[in-house]
Amino acid sequence: MKLIILLIICTLPMKLIAQSSVAEIAVGEASVDKDKLVIDDPELKTLSGTEKRIASEMIDIIRNDFIFYKHKFNNIDYSQKGQASYSNPSLSKWQEAGISYFISTLVSAHGDGIEAKFKAWSVTTGKEIYSDTFRMEQRNVRPKSHTIADAIYRSITGKPSIFNSKIVFVSDRATYGKDTIKELYLMDFDGNRVEKLTNFRSVVISPSVAPDNSKIMFSLIASHIDRSKGRVRTIKNIDLKTYDLKTENVSTVSDRPGINSGAVFSASGEKIYLTLSFSGNADIYEMNLASKQMRKVTSHYADDVDPSVTRDGTLMSFLSNRAGRANIYIMDPSQTEKDVKRISFVGQFNATPRFSPDGKEIVFTSWVDGAFDLYRISADGNNLSRLTKGFGSNEEPVYSPDGEFIVFTSKRIVSRSKAIQDVYIMNRDGEILGQLTQDFGRCFSPQWTNILK
């Protein structure tokens, strides 16, 4: 029974659609002076109908990408389009309109597709800040367009965007009859190009992505043959496995009796932190992936699960029922039970704490007023703010690699016998930006990557 209870603790369930913020936000409410950005219609050389469609789709994707960063940019739908804006950008015109950055494109035919030349201008300084040439066909217009958008974003901000990232998630859409089936899937950050990765016909839980994006670690409810006590029988176990994104091979990391779950990688990728219950109750261990050598990080009579570790490895958050219910604790993972401190005191119980990339914040789920909602708190336990309210039951939040966004799942009751659960994206202050999955079964455990595919 303890195994079932802990599994529930670990896996509690908790296309771009513009929506207004639904959050009670304690910070970030002050008005922000945003840069005004124009991505002009492309200047076209003689193109066929197919080539025009590729060019149009390319620009639409790039514009849509930048809408995600609307907390940084006012994307202008400028009614008076530029004419021959690549050859003659007319920066004075855009300066008079208060535009900060202007993007122009020259598109010509090339092979079975197009050649697109891009320039980005800082209208304020009058300087060209970016130029490059890309070739694409219909089959690769979407990934190429994300790459272009990222290059433009970097030229403006000096930082990488989320445009080339992907999201790993679990869905039960393959469920047949009474047997629940949850498999692993991969999609673009905006919900497009969904790809099924596994076909176990079982239950996949708790995915985690290696720092170099080469592997995905996850747990699987697996069947084992038990030949003890003079008889042969099949038993279920929660095994830890990895999926190699290049070779598509699956290997077993740990299949000790009980729970092998909630694994996250260290920043180097050489170690993982995971929950094991082979010794009785659930504790968190550090494991060297090469040698399989283990070290206990927590050692308590309560159940400790769901670790998250900062990139520098100096701080770990985890979930524990040491106080009687599931709450969030932090500690120094370099030694067993070092500097353990409870930091969450909101709601009846908490779940899925996850650090921001800089390690300064934790986003998590709390059960409040009969539903799960998302909260953000400083890593020291201060500055609590609520991110969702009245937007379904919201769970499993994870920061984007740049710390600007949070992906999460939201569950809606649509009838007495049916509920839907999809993946959504918000900015870090709780403004819901869109629904990423739709009619794709119930979705769980989204995780960000930077996989280019």
Residue 31 binned pLDDT confidence (cut-offs 50, 70, 90): low
The predicted structure's pLDDT at residue 274: 97
Residues 128 and 250 in one domain: no
Decide if 367 is inside a domain. Answer: yes
The answer to whether residue 4 scores a pLDDT higher than 50 is no
Of 103, 202, 117, 165, nearest to 405 (Cα)?
165
The predicted structure's pLDDT at residue 80: 59
Mean pLDDT, rounded, for 84-112: 91
Tally Cβ neighbours within 10 Å of residue 371: 18
Global pTM? 0.90
The answer to whether residue 182 scores a pLDDT higher than 80 is yes
Residues 174 and 256 in one domain: yes
Residue 232 binned pLDDT confidence (cut-offs 50, 70, 90): confident
- For position 271, which CATH number holds? 2.120.10.30
Residues 108 and 205 in one domain: no
User: Could you say which of 157, 173, 200 is where a domain stops?
Assistant: 157
Mean pLDDT of the chain: 90
The predicted structure's pLDDT at residue 227: 79
Distance from the Cα of residue 104 to its chain's centroid? 31
Residues 188 and 321 in one domain: yes
Q: What pLDDT, in 10s, does the model give residues 241-256?
A: 999 999 999 999 999 9
Of 390, 397, 401, 388, nearest to 430 (Cα)?
388
Domain containing 127 equals: 40-157
Helix axes 49-67, 141-157, angle to 10 degrees: 40
Of 429, 386, 428, 426, nearest to 410 (Cα)?
426
Decide if 299 is inside a domain. Answer: yes
Residues 370 and 293 in one domain: yes
Residues 153 and 169 in one domain: no
Residues 150 and 179 in one domain: no
Decide if 30 is inside a domain. Answer: no
The answer to whether residue 28 scores a pLDDT higher than 60 is no
Residue 451 binned pLDDT confidence (cut-offs 50, 70, 90): low
Decide if 307 is inside a domain. Answer: yes
Q: Which residues have a Cβ under 8 Å from the Cβ of 399 and sit 6 or more positions away?
A: 354, 355, 356, 357, 361, 363, 405, 406, 428, 448
Q: Encoding tokens for residue 13?
A: 């369930």
Count of residues in the chain = 453
Q: Which residues have a Cβ under 8 Å from the Cβ of 217 and sit 6 or more positions away?
A: 207, 208, 209, 210, 240, 241, 242, 243, 253, 263, 265, 272
Residues 171 and 59 in one domain: no
Judging by beta carbons within 10 Å of its beta carbon (0-12, 13-18, 19+), is residue 149 exposed, middle or buried? Answer: buried
The predicted structure's pLDDT at residue 17: 38
Q: What pLDDT, in 10s, does the model give residues 59-72?
A: 999 999 999 999 99
- Which residue is listed with tokens 């930082």? 159
User: Could you say which of 157, 174, 193 is where a domain stops?
Assistant: 157
Residues 422 and 299 in one domain: yes
Residue 165 binned pLDDT confidence (cut-offs 50, 70, 90): very high
Decide if 453 is inside a domain. Answer: no
Decide if 29 is inside a domain. Answer: no
Distance from the Cα of residue 25 to its chain's centroid? 21
Distance CA 343, CA 425 (A): 26
Number of domains the chain is built from: 2
* Helix, strand, coil share (%) of the chain residues, nearest 5: 15, 45, 45
Residues 211 and 355 in one domain: yes
Decide if 187 is inside a domain. Answer: yes
- Tell me the CA distances in angstroms from 187 to 14, 153, 190, 194, 417, one per residue in order: 21, 21, 8, 4, 29
Q: What pLDDT, in 10s, does the model give residues 189-231?
A: 999 999 999 999 999 999 999 999 999 999 999 988 887 777 8
Q: How large is the greatest C-alpha to C-alpha distance in the chain, in angstroms?
A: 87
The answer to whether residue 18 scores a pLDDT higher than 50 is no
Tally Cβ neighbours within 10 Å of residue 85: 24
The answer to whether residue 269 scores a pLDDT higher than 60 is yes
User: Which of 53-57, 177-181, 185-189, 295-299 has the weakest average pLDDT?
Assistant: 177-181
- For position 67, which CATH number holds? 3.40.50.10070
User: Could you say which of 123, 157, 191 is where a domain stops?
Assistant: 157
The answer to whether residue 128 scores a pLDDT higher than 90 is yes
Judging by beta carbons within 10 Å of its beta carbon (0-12, 13-18, 19+), is residue 223 exposed, middle or buried? Answer: exposed
Residues 72 and 183 in one domain: no
Decide if 210 is inside a domain. Answer: yes
Q: What pLDDT, in 10s, does the model give residues 412-438?
A: 877 777 889 999 999 999 999 999 999
Check if the beta carbon of residue 316 is closer than 8 Å to that of residue 338.
no
Residues 121 and 95 in one domain: yes
